Each structure stands twice: as structure tokens, then as C-alpha cells.
Structure 1
């Protein structure tokens, strides 16, 4: 009886890990594309540094 529960938990954990890795890879592509499309605005950044 205990072995059945342990096997089910291990299978569920492995399935969850595989799902999260695949989802992370898909989200990583989306985030990289999003940040590559943005144009950096360095003027505001330099103004913040000049306030010191």
C-alpha cells in the first residue's frame, strides 16, 4: 500500500518538473523577444545619475 502512494507521488513530481521546465523554456523565448523589441532610453538613466 505504501509503495503505491510513493510511486504516485514520485510520478506526479517528475511530471510537474517536466511541465515546469517546458513552460519555462516557452516563457523564456517570449521574454527575450519582448525585451529585444524594446528600445533602451538612456536619457532618463543619465539624468538620474547626474542628480547625485
Structure 2
């Protein structure tokens, strides 16, 4: 089976997203401080905004 460059990029993107999700879930599980959670949400939102800009 031949894997195209586009398929490889999609797989790498999916792997990065899954790793980040696991990291964020671990932080949420270990953090009780509301301020820390708010900062985490802001970081995630910034990442999503930058990622969406890169897609255009």
C-alpha cells in the first residue's frame, strides 16, 4: 500500500491532537484550581485559533 504525503500529514496531525488531548485531560484531572483551569482553556483556545489560521 502506498501512503501519500497528504495521508502522512493527516496521520501526524491526528497523532499530535490525540497526544495533546491526553495531556490536557491529565492536567484537568490533576488540577483543582479554577484560575489554572481558566488559563489552560485560554491556551487551548489560542492553539485552536492559530491552527485554524494555518488551515486557510
Q: Structure 1 regions of 5+ residues with no counterpart?
A: 37-52
Q: CA separation in 2, counterparts of 1:4 and 1:29? A: 38
Q: What residue is the counterpart of 2:12 in the other structure?
A: 12
- TM-score, reference length from structure 2: 0.49
Q: CA separation in 2, counterparts of 1:15 and 1:24? A: 14
Q: Secondary structure at the match of 1:6?
A: helix
Q: Structure 2 regions of 5+ residues with no counterpart?
A: 35-56
RMSD: 1.9
Structure number with larger C-alpha Rg: 1
* Alignment coverage as a number of residue pairs: 32
Q: Which has the higher contact order (CA 8 A, sep 6+)?
A: 2
